[in-house]
Amino acid sequence: MSGFTAPTIDWGALSPVVIVLGAAIIGVLVEAFVPARARRNAQLALSLLATIGALVAVVLLWPGVEESGGTTVLGGSVLVDGPTLVLWGSIALFAVISLLIIADRTETGEDAFAPNAAAVPGSDYEDVARRKGIHQTEIYPLVLFATGGMLVFPAAGDLLTLFVALEVLSLPLYLLAGMARRRRLLSQEASMKYFLLGAFASALFLFGIALIYGYSGSLRYADIATATGTPSGMESVLLVGSVLILAGLLFKVGAVPFHTWTPDVYQGAPTPITGFMGACTKIAAFGALLRIVYTVFPDLQWDLAAILWTVAILTMVVGTVGALVQSDMKRVLGYSSIAHSGFILTGIIALNQAGITAVLFYLLVYGAATVGAFGIVWLVRERTRQSADGSPGPILGEATHLSQWAGLGRTNPLLALTFALFLLSFAGIPLTAGFIGKFGVFSAAVDGGAWPLALIGVLASSAAAFFYVRIIVLMFFTGSASADGEPTGTDVYVPAGDVSAPISAGDGAVAVETVVETEARSTITTTVVKTEGLAVAAIAICALLTIVMGIAPSPVIEAIQGVASFLP
C-alpha cells in the first residue's frame, strides 16, 4: 500500500473531458430515473449544457496554455497543449451543432432514430413502438460518451490512454450507426460492418502497441520518441509496430487502403450521426495522428515517408474517382470525406510548424461543411404521392439518390444555395473556407518539400470539383422530371439499373445482401421536410462559419498559429 502515491491531478486542465464524460454518466442515470415524457428534453438540455460547457472550459483554458505552452496531466497520460485545445474546441463545437441536428424532429414528431432499436425490423414490436411515439433517448449519452472519447484521443500522452480513448469513442458510434429510423437493415448492416472492421483495426493497433512496447520498454510518447532516436538492432520491430499503429489511426480517418467501411457506414448510419461522425471522429483521429507523427516518430520520418506518401496519394485519387461514379448523395459525401483525408494527410506529411496550423484549420473548416451538408441531406426527404386525389402522402426517409435532387434550387432556393455553399467549400473554391484550408495544407506541403503531393492534391481537387459542381448543376439547372408542377414534390425517382452496392434500401421490408432495386418508385417525390427548426439553426451556423472563415480567416488562423506547438 505504501508503494503507491496518488498522482496530483490538475482537474482544471481536464475539465472539458470531465464535464462531457460526467454528463454522459448522468445521462445514463436520467434514462433510469426521469419519466419517459420529460426524458428527451432533459437529455437534450444535459447534452447541450455539457458540450457548451466543454467549449467554455476550452476558452477559459486558452490564455494559460497560450502562455505556458501546455501542461501534462495525470502523470503524462493526457497532454493539454495548444493543438489539444484547438481540437477540443473544434470537437465540442461540432458536437453542439450535431446535437441540434440529432435532436431535431419533424412536424410529426419523428427524429432520425428508430423508436426501438432492439426490435427486429418489420416486426409488430417495432410497429407498436412507432405508434406509441417512443424515442430512443439513449442517443444522447451515447453521443456524449463518444465525444468524451474523441476529446481524450488527440490529447493522449501514452499509447494505452490512446487505445482506451479509441474504444470509448468507437463503441458508441458502432451503436449509433445502427439506429436509423428508416432503412433499418441498411443501418444495421452498416453498424455491423463498422464494428467488425473497427475491431479488426483495433486489433492491429493493439498489436502495434505491443511491438512498440517491446522495442522501447515504455508506453509514454516521450520515452518512445527517445528510444526511436537511439540505434539498436531491432529497428524492424519498431517499424512494423509503428506501421500497425498508423494503420489503426488511418482506419479511423478513412485513408486508403483502410477506407472500405467509409461509404457503407456513411450511407447506412442515421444522417445526423453521419455528420457528427464525419466531422468529430475525423478531427479527433487526425489530431492523434498529427501528434504521433510529430512527436513520437519524428526520427522515423525517412522510413515512414514512403508509406505516408503512398497512402496520401492513394487516398486522394481513390476518394476522388470513387465519388465520380456514385449515385447516392451520402456515398458521394463519404467518398469526398476520403479524398479530404488525403488532402489533410499532405499537411501532416509536411512536418513543419505551418503544417500543424494548416491541418488544424482544415479540420475546423471541413467539420463545418460536413455537419452542415449532412444536416441538409437529412431535411431532403422522399414523400409518396397518393394516387387517389394527388395530395402528398406521408414523408419517408432521406431522398439520397442524386436524381432526386434535381430542381431543388427552384423549389427550395435558400436550402439549395446553402448546400451549394458547402459543396463549394468542399471543392475549395475561393471565398469559401475550404479554399483557405486547402491552400494552407498544400502550401505547408510545398514548404515541407512535398510538392509532388501538393501537385497531386491540386489535380485531385480540380477533378473533385467536377462532382461537386455536378450536384450544383443538378439542383439549379436541371428541371425535375415530374411535369405536373406539384409545388412541393420535385422529382420522380429513377432507380439506377446497375446499382451495384449490395446494400439495399427498403423501409424495413426486404433487405438482403446484393439486392438490386427493382421496385418501381415512380410515385415518390422529393420534398423538404419541416422540422422544429433546430437543424436549420445548425445549418445556418455551419454556413456562417464557412463564409466567415472563407472571407476573413486570419483571426482564426492567427489564434491557431499562436498555440500550434506540441508538448514533447
Partner 1 sequence: MHTLTALVASLPSDTIGPATETVETGTLLVAPLLVGIPLLSAALLLVLGRRTDRWGHWLGVLASSAAFVIGAVVFVNMLGRSEGSRVLDVDLGNWIDAGAFHLNAGVRLDPLSLTFVLLVTFVGSLIHIYAVAYMEHDADRRRFFAYLNLFIAAMLTLVLANSYLLLFFGWEGVGLASYLLIGFWNYRLDYAVAAKKAFVANRIGDLGLIIAMGLMFATFGSVSFDTVLGGVTESTSQATLNGIALMLLLAACGKSAQFPLQSWLGDAMAGPTPVSALIHAATMVTAGVYLIVRSAPLFNAAPDAQLVVVCVGAVTLVFGAIVGCAKDDIKKALAASTMSQIGYMILAAGLGPVGYAFAIFHLVTHGFFKAGMFLGAGSVMHGMDDQVNMRLFGGLGRYMKITYITFGAGWLAIIGFPFFSGFYSKDHIIESAFVPVEGAPWRAWFFGSVAMLAAGITAFYMSRLFFMTFEGEKRWTNKADGSHQHPHEAPKLMTWPMIVLAVGSVGLGAFLNAGNKFVDWLAPVLGHPEHEEPVMPVPVIMGLTLALVAVGILIAWRRYVASRVPVVPPVGTSLTRAARVDLYQDTVNDVLLVEPGQALTRSLVYVDRTAIDGTVSSVGRVTVGLGEIARRFQTGYVRSYAASMLLGLVVLVIVVLVIQI
Give the span between the Cα atoms of 445 and 354, in whole angstroms. 9
CB 47 within 8 A of CB 144: yes
Indicate the residue among 124 and 513 with the shorter CB distance to partner 1. Answer: 513
Note whether 165 binds partner 1 by CB under 8 A: no
Note whether 496 binds partner 1 by CB under 8 A: no
Q: Which among 58-66, 298-306, 471-479, 535-543 is the span making contact with partner 1, rule CB under 8 A?
A: 298-306
Note whether 568 binds partner 1 by CB under 8 A: no
CB 96 within 8 A of CB 48: yes
Indicate the residue among 5 and 230 with the shorter CB distance to partner 1. Answer: 230
Query: 79: part of which helix (H) or strand (E)?
Result: strand 78-80
**In the set 196, 455, 544, 552, which binds partner 1 (CB under 8 A)?**
196
Give the span between the Cα atoms of 335 and 527, in whole angstroms. 25
Q: Tell me the β-bridge partners of 401.
A: 328
Quote the cell numbers at residue 333. Answer: 459525401
Note whether 20 binds partner 1 by CB under 8 A: no
Q: Which among 221-229, 353-361, 501-509, 538-546 is the span making contact with partner 1, rule CB under 8 A?
A: 501-509
Note whether 215 binds partner 1 by CB under 8 A: no
Indicate the residue among 323 and 365 with the shorter CB distance to partner 1. Answer: 323
Q: How many Cβ atoms sit within 10 Å of the Cβ of residue 387?
A: 9
∠ CA 240-306-242 to the nearest 5 degrees?
25
Count the site residues for partner 1 by CB under 8 A. Answer: 44
CB 337 within 8 A of CB 370: yes
SS3 (DSSP) at 218: coil
Query: What minimum distance in Å lies between the beta carbon of 499 and partner 1?
Result: 11
**In the set 134, 243, 458, 547, which binds partner 1 (CB under 8 A)?**
243
Give the span between the Cα atoms of 109 and 503, in whole angstroms. 28
Indicate the residue among 325 and 510 with the shorter CB distance to partner 1. Answer: 325
65 CB burial (10 A radius; 0-12, 13-18, 19+): buried
Residue 172: asked if its preceding bond is cis (omega within 30°), the reply is no
**In the set 20, 247, 273, 365, which binds partner 1 (CB under 8 A)?**
247
Query: What minimum distance in Å lies between the beta carbon of 342 and partner 1?
Result: 14
Note whether 232 binds partner 1 by CB under 8 A: no
Query: Which 263-282 residues touch partner 1, going by CB under 8 A?
Result: 263-264
Return the residue matching grid coordinates 448522468: 26
Note whether 515 binds partner 1 by CB under 8 A: no
Q: Tell me the β-bridge partners of 106.
A: 531
Indicate the residue among 234 and 551 with the shorter CB distance to partner 1. Answer: 234
Phi, psi of 401 (to 5 degrees): -70, 135
Return the residue matching grid coordinates 454528463: 23
Query: What minimum distance in Å lies between the beta carbon of 230 and partner 1?
Result: 16
Note whether 301 binds partner 1 by CB under 8 A: no
Note whether 222 binds partner 1 by CB under 8 A: no
Q: Which among 176-184, 249-257, 270-278, 379-387 is the span making contact with partner 1, rule CB under 8 A?
A: 249-257
Note whether 190 binds partner 1 by CB under 8 A: no
Q: Which among 163-171, 261-269, 528-536, 551-559 is the span making contact with partner 1, rule CB under 8 A?
A: 261-269
Task: Spell 404-421 as b/e; 16+ CB within 10 A means b.
Answer: bbbbbbebbeebbebbbb
Q: Tell me the β-bridge partners of 347.
A: none
Phi, psi of 135 (to 5 degrees): -115, 140
Point out which residues bind partner 1 (CB under 8 A). Answer: 192-193, 196-197, 200-201, 204, 235-236, 239-240, 243-244, 247, 251, 256-258, 260-261, 263-264, 303-304, 306-307, 310-311, 317-318, 320-325, 463, 466, 500-503, 513-514
